[in-house]
Amino acid sequence: MNKQTPLTPAVFHILLALSTGERHGYGIMKEVEADSQGKVRMGAGTLYGSLKRMLDAGLVVESDKRSDSDRSDRSDMPESGDTRRIYYRITGTGEQALAEELDRLRHLVTITKERELLPKTFAYGG
């Protein structure tokens, strides 16, 4: 078991957001919101505090500062936000920590299924 796990919810969501590609701070916030179907909105304080600790732990690395216009995919950018930004990328250690956390969560879901703790799915009109 990696010493990084269990991950805090913020770290888990950030790693999950970065698993599909490198992003800047705002991009991570939007991806976290999308991944959680709008249930998790991360503030900038939590985001950058977590990023600092993740950088120190080697879970993520900073990419070079660059302009948003350098990216072909700008779907996560609001209009006229074209400034040079630092992008963050998940590392091998980060991917391993995420995989271990997902494994831990999968194991918990299996237990809850075995104990019949998961909410029942209702079928209407039957």
Partner 1 sequence: MADERHSVFRKLYKKLVALYPKPFRERFGESMMQTFDDLCREGNSYIFMQWLLAETLFAAARENMLSINSRNIMKNITAPPTAALISFVLVLPLGLMFLIFLSEIEPLITGTKYFLTTDGQQVNMLGRVIMLGGMLALPVAFVWNLIPVVRTARLEGKLFVHTANLMLVVAILLLIAATWGGLALETVSCGMGISCD
Interacting span for partner 1 (CB under 8 A) from 18-26, 89-97, 99-107, 114-122: 18-26
**Contact call for residues 32 and 13 (beta carbons, < 8 A):** yes
Q: How far apart are CA 75 and CA 64, in angstroms?
A: 20
Q: How far is the CB of 72 from partner 1 (least distance, A)?
A: 19
Report the C-alpha gap between 23 and 5 in whole angstroms. Answer: 23
Concatenate the DSSP letters of all residues of 13-42 into one string.
Answer: HHHHHHTTS-B-HHHHHHHHHHHTTTS---
Provide the sign of the torsion angle of the four alpha carbons 22, 26, 32, 34, taken in this order: negative
Which is nearer to partner 1, 64 or 116 (by Cβ)? 64
46 binds partner 1 (CB under 8 A): yes
**With respect to partner 1, which residue has the nearer C-beta, 78 or 126?**
78
Complex with partner 1: residue 26 or 36, whichever CB lies closer = 26
Choices 12-20, 42-50, 89-97, 108-116 (CB under 8 A): range interacting with partner 1:
42-50
Distant-in-sequence, close-in-space partners of 2: CB < 8 Å, separation ≥ 6: 93, 96, 97, 100
Binding mask 70-99 for partner 1 (x = CB under 8 A): -------xxxxx-x-xx-------------
The site for partner 1 (CB under 8 A) is made up of 24-26, 29, 41, 43-49, 51-52, 77-81, 83, 85-86
